Amino acid sequence: MARVGKAERLRKIHSESIRAFNMVQSSVRIERLQCLADRRFYSIAGAQWEGSLARQFENRPKFEVNKVQQAVFKIINEYRNNRIGIRFIPRDGSKDDKLTDACNGLYRADEQDSTADEAYDNAFEEGVAGGFGAWRLRAVLEDEYSDNEYQRIRMEPIFDADSTVFFDRDAKRQDKSDAKHCWVLVPMTWDSYKDTYNDDPTTWPKDIQMIEFDWQIPNDTVYVAEYYKVEAINEMRYIYRSATGEEDFYVKEDFEEDDQLLDKLLATGWAEVRREKVKCKKIHKYLMSGGKILEDQGYIAGNNIPIVPFFGKRWVVDNVERCMGVVRPAKDSQRLKNMQISKLAEISAKSTVEKPIFDPEQVTGFEVMWSEDNIADNPYLLARPITDAAGTPVAYGATSYTKVPNIPPAMAALLQVTDQDMKDILGATESMDQMQSGQSGVAVEMVQNRIDMNSFIYMSNMGKAVKRSAEIWLGMAKELFVEEGRKMKTMTEQGEVGQLEIKRPVLDPATAATVYENDLGDSNLEVYVEVGPSSSSRRNSTVRALTMMMGITQDPEALQVLGSMAMMNMEGEGIEDVRDWFRQKMLRMGVVKPTEEEQLILDDQKKQEAQMPPDANTQFLLESAKKAGADAQSAVAKTQLTMAQVEKTVAETDKIVAETTLDEQDSTTKKLDNLDRVDNAIRGATGQPEMDETKEGKEDANRNTEQ
């Protein structure tokens, strides 16, 4: 009974899926057919004459001057020269450099291993030309021929996305992050289908296809559908608390995958504190044919549908999602151009020489001469005269001549109008591509900005798609990269390969507890998109800027730093070792921030240098320095002794001077007193006041005292 119930459930899911798919396909069928027609128009020879136009020019020349293709290639080349990069950054604004660097390195490594450029390029080309492209992310075994079950994430292209990828009608966001259902149609040959599923082929309904003059074997292709369905499920979470108060949760699948997980938690002091039932989002994947569900692949890694859409230009009108690329607006002008060229070629193919018209009897016997004249280049041609019934010649020469075809004046004017229309629609850059001699760098930059504006909307939309791809990857990585101690390859932005260990146990110096580095399950990151020049282009631009800065500074240390930075960003064959040497030089100078591994190496080098005995030159310099220091100390001591002797001499001299001055002052005072008494006696005898009592006397006394 259980099997019957399961079969009935799968049959119901298949029926509901086909019904929902038919509604989605019918709602976007006209738009997607136009996308497919646009891609055929620019890429398939002869497709520009498809439809009623081909019937109108049946059995007539049908030439193609495909100018639309060049416009598409310009935008594609601009994208390939300016790759879009992503960086994972903490969502809360904290600086968790180790975890972000780990995610960035793992993402680049997965891109490199899965040749993600093919998936990106295919989606971008289909979106630019037709309006819609897509790629998928898929978890695969790291090594399918080994015993380990480690998985990595691969980016895979989806071809003909406009006719094979469909999301539910309620998904309104451009990146389809709000989608609940998604179908991806995968083409297979009948033989491949039978070998894979051992079943008679029943194709999935596919109404979006276009076959005109090209052909294929009827009924040779069968389509199976990858059906992704978002399901909300109730999940039991087991909350554990450590001895230090930290909490973490586990689900039933964690204990099933690791039988020793519970023992590890209990041994390290973790204890279960509570259980919580939460609602979470899971992605259920089915593989279906037109008749039944071929495989129920269960829940896949991540909580997002792993299909990334890319729109060239997108808008919603009347609740219908509409999109297009660069081709559709230029199709009518391109058709008109082809018609005019074909008509002009048809006119030109006709003879430009006026041909004579003869009576049959005039060329009788000379037919070969006239028919081969353009080859033999005869010096003259012969013709018989026209005679009457009596045999008398009536007329000589041709009766009339054919007229040379003329090009209609309207056609010449229309050709010019058509060329101008195509330039206006496609944004032709012939004049902008031509660099004039003596043009300033500012003018060149303005020209480049005008060229970039033609492709900016496509680059911006591709940036949204790449961001969505990184978000899907992060959700999958949290569930796939969980094996403790697993060694995984990483890659830097410069393409250098490295390695990290998942959930590496380390001792936290703050809490003295064991924590795990590179634990993606605890990451709280978001994606930042960089739309601009590729890493290679940025490095070349950096080198040019550094060399220009070296010309405006005279500081030797600054020149050394700028030159080293320029060498670190140089590209070329066999230059990796030179770049590494200059990086080590910058590290020793303290200009570049070292990584964790480089810091360990620098610390070891310092310890080794401290323990190593000095060489002969260094030892000689040290001895010379010691001797010079001793001589300097001796000289200082002698100088101090001399200064002490000088100070002693000065002190003795001051004492002698002081004693001498006191004796002279006593003698002078006595002499002045005697003079004052004599002078006062004289003044008293003559009746004059004494000198000390007058103002003048006081001033004279003061002067004498000063003297």
Q: What is the DSSP letter of 362?
A: G
Beta strands in 116-220 (DSSP E): 132-141, 151-158, 165-167, 181-189
Asked whether residue 516 carries a pLDDT value surpassing 90, the answer given is no
Residues 489-514 pLDDT 10s = 999 887 888 899 888 888 777 666 77
Decide if pLDDT at 465 tops 70.
Answer: yes
Half-sphere exposure of 310 (CA within 13 A, CB side): 34
- Residue 111's pLDDT band, with cuts at 50, 70 and 90, is very high
Tens digit of each residue's pLDDT (9 = 90 or more) over 537-553: 566 677 778 788 887 88
Residue 36: which of 118, 104, 129 has the closest Cα? 129
pLDDT at 495: 80
Angle between helices 556-568 and 535-550 (to 10 degrees): 160
Lowest mean per-residue pLDDT among 317-326, 460-469, 580-589? 580-589
- The 10s digit of each residue's pLDDT in 19-66 is 999 999 999 999 999 999 999 999 998 888 988 888 888 888 888 888
Per-residue pLDDT tens digits for 192-204: 999 898 888 888 9
Q: What is the reported pTM?
A: 0.70
Residue 307: its H or E element: strand 307-311
Q: What is the pLDDT of residue 705?
A: 46
For residue 452, the tally of other CB atoms under 10 A from its CB is 12
**Chain segment 388-437, per-residue pLDDT in tens:** 777 777 777 777 877 777 777 777 778 778 878 778 777 755 554 554 55
Contact partners, residue 78, CB within 8 Å, separation at least 6: 451, 452, 455, 459
- pLDDT at site 199: 84
Give the pLDDT confidence score for residue 428 in this predicted structure.
59
Terminal C-alpha separation, the chain:
141
In this prediction, residue 444 carries a pLDDT of 47
Q: Is the pLDDT of residue 627 over 90?
A: no
Q: Is 150 exposed, middle or buried (0-12, 13-18, 19+ CB in 10 A)?
A: middle
The Cβ of residue 626 has, within 10 Å, a number of other Cβ atoms equal to: 10
Two tokens at 248?
Answer: 């973490």
The rounded percent of the chain whose pLDDT value lies above 70 is 81
Worst-scoring range by mean pLDDT, 133-137, 138-142, 659-663?
Answer: 659-663
What is the residue type of 589? Answer: M
Question: Is residue 233 predicted with pLDDT exceeding 70?
Answer: yes
What pLDDT, on a 0 to 100 scale, did the predictor assign at position 3? Answer: 47
Provide DSSP, 580-617: HHHHHHHHHHT-SPP-HHHHHHHHHHHHHHHHSPP-HH
CB atoms < 10 A from the CB of 327, how many? Answer: 27
Cross-strand partners of 499: 489
Pairwise CA distance, residues 440 & 418, whole Å: 34
The string of DSSP codes covering 172-199 is -STT-TT-SEEEEEEEEEHHHHHHHH-S
Q: Decide if pLDDT at 297 tops 90.
A: yes
- Please say if the pLDDT value at position 307 is more than 90: yes
Please compute Rg for the chain using Cα positions: 48
Average pLDDT, the chain: 81
pLDDT tens per residue across span 252-282: 877 877 778 888 888 888 888 888 888 888 9
The whole-angstrom separation of Cα 691 and Cα 707 is 18
Summarize the confidence of residues 438-447 as an average pLDDT.
Answer: 48
Stretch 292-296: mean pLDDT: 93
What gap in Å lies between CA 225 and CA 307, rounded to an integer?
13
Task: Report the pLDDT value the prediction gives residue 151, as an integer from 0 to 100.
Answer: 92
For residue 700, the SS3 value is helix
Q: Tell whether the model's pLDDT for residue 623 goes beyond 80.
A: no
Confidence of residue 2 (pLDDT cuts 50, 70, 90): very low
Contact 468, 86 (CB under 8 A): no
What local confidence, expressed as pLDDT, does residue 679 receive? 62
pLDDT at 637 over 80: no
Whether 122 has a pLDDT exceeding 80, the answer reads: yes
Residue with the larger pLDDT of the pair 655 and 173: 173
Q: How far apart are CA 304 and CA 282, in angstroms?
A: 8
**Overall average pLDDT of the 160-170 stretch:** 95
Closest alpha carbon to 456 in 525, 514, 401, 532: 532
